[in-house]
Amino acid sequence: MMKKILIIEDDQIVANIYRNKFAVEGYDVVTAADGQSGLESIHNLRPDAVVLDLMLPKLSGVELMKKLRAEPEFQQLPIVVFSNTYLTNLVQEAWKAGATKCLSKANCSPKQLIEIVRGTLGKNGSPPAAPAPAAAGKPAPSVSKTVHAQVSVPHTQHSAPQPAPPAQDELGKAFLAGLPANLASLRALLQSAIKAPNESARLKPLHEIYRRTHSLTANAALAGCVHVARLSEAFEALLLELQQKPSNINASTLRTVASAIDLLGLLAERGPRPDQKELPPPNILVVDDEAISRRAVTSALEKAGLKSVSLEDPQLAFNLLAENKFDLVILDVNMPNMNGFELCSKIRSLPVHAKTPVVFVTGLNDFESRANSTMSGGNDFIAKPFLFVELAVKALIYILRGHLQERPKSKG
């Protein structure tokens, strides 16, 4: 008997791709577009495993799991969830709610997902062996044509015959072809947020930007656009943070949102497959005389998978920069013997670092400090206390932009 897989995913394109991939492997697949209909499908269809997005309309993935695990008959049901790696609290909630596995949607391919689901099903998790070749003139039915609905449930879709999923190369081209229009919509929504007369009015366009970015992350990963998916995942986490804590919406965070959208556009312009491979590990230097502040900055960078070297002495930092190439420098301002502005000016005197991005992270937030940061050669400015995820997004923006500038534009 075919193993039944339920995919609960609100992005229909993503759901269809996963459904096709599982169906080709011989599984009976059903999809649900929101948490509530997914919960109903579980009770009606009794699937062997569930693939669950955490960010769902009507009922979140975490709430769905809490309801399921409260029922003895579903306490052992394998549930593989997709999460955002930046949302560590949400991931912890998912584990506590009873997730069997937690995966990053930005980093998990359909092939990896299938293998993980197969592993959660144990010894009996493999689908039946493929039928023997049919006699000449009697072709065997395709896998998709042998799958039939068992129970009719509203808002769910069974793995009825579907067109063959496009190859990853074609997915990448199709994704990048549609990205400019998607980004134009994001820019228009951002302008609406900036011009909004109050906080309540601002949240509506920001929520729509978040919703579209959430979809963008998954589609970029499926299309093999590694860098787009990596930036989009961090960007998505920032947008969610701004929705949950509107008091963090300010000039700095809105500039970061705009910069992320602009860079996604630049990535889209770099040909049909601009980011086939992961980046080499970047070199990042953090200079701050306060140990707690240094740790906060390095922790924020670690959220984005970026390792850094940190120093408290600005003169030692300059000596290190004079002898080594760095891809990004993050500076405090108030430091003994040499402040951040003076250090930045000296950095610009080094030919190898004449254009290296420099970001100030400081407790100073007045107009004069911002002006001095620019005059000394700084590229950006974040005031303390800062959002970890905002600094993570900014760092990724500068690292990815630097990588683009090093590569020739694709002719394809």
CA distance 227 to 248: 26
First to last CA, the chain: 46
Q: What is the CATH number of the domain that holds 29?
A: 3.40.50.2300
User: Does 259 score more than 60 pLDDT?
Assistant: yes
**Cβ(248)–Cβ(132) under 8 Å?**
no
Contacts of 398 (CB under 8 A, 6+ apart): 327, 328, 357, 359, 379, 380
Report the 10 Å Cβ neighbour count for 395: 26
Among 158, 188, 214, identify where a domain stops: 158
The pTM for the full model equals 0.81
Q: Are residues 15 and 69 in the same domain?
A: yes
Among 220, 240, 269, identify where a domain stops: 269
The pLDDT of residue 8 is 96
The pLDDT of residue 146 is 30
Q: Are residues 36 and 107 in the same domain?
A: yes
Both tokens of residue 96? 């506590």
pLDDT tens digits, residue range 174-188?
777 888 888 999 999
CA distance 113 to 127: 15
Picking from 35, 56, 48, 59, the residue whose alpha carbon sits closest to that of residue 2 is 48
Residue type for position 367: F
Average pLDDT over residues 19-34: 93
Give 411's pLDDT tier (boundaries 50, 70, 90): very low
User: Does 43 score more than 60 pLDDT?
Assistant: yes
Query: Which contiguous run of DSSP H or E holds residue 104?
Result: strand 101-104
Q: Which residue has the higher pLDDT, 177 or 316?
A: 316
Query: Which contiguous run of DSSP H or E holds residue 231?
Result: helix 226-244
The pLDDT of residue 138 is 38
Whether 147 is in a domain gets the answer yes
| Percent above pLDDT 70 for the chain | 84
Q: Are residues 232 and 341 in the same domain?
A: no
Handedness of CA 237, 243, 248, 253 (dihedral sign): positive
| Percent above pLDDT 90 for the chain | 59
Q: Are residues 177 and 48 in the same domain?
A: no
∠ Cα 370 374 378 (to 5°): 105
Average pLDDT over residues 103-127: 82
Q: Are residues 196 and 255 in the same domain?
A: yes
Dihedral pair phi/psi, residue 287, rounded to 5°:
-125, 115
The pLDDT of residue 179 is 84
Give 169's pLDDT tier (boundaries 50, 70, 90): low
Residue 175 belongs to what domain range? 169-269
User: Does 410 score more than 80 pLDDT?
Assistant: no
Strands 79-83 and 4-8: unpaired
The pLDDT of residue 386 is 87
User: What Rg do the C-alpha atoms of the chain give, in angstroms?
Assistant: 24
Whether 163 is in a domain gets the answer no
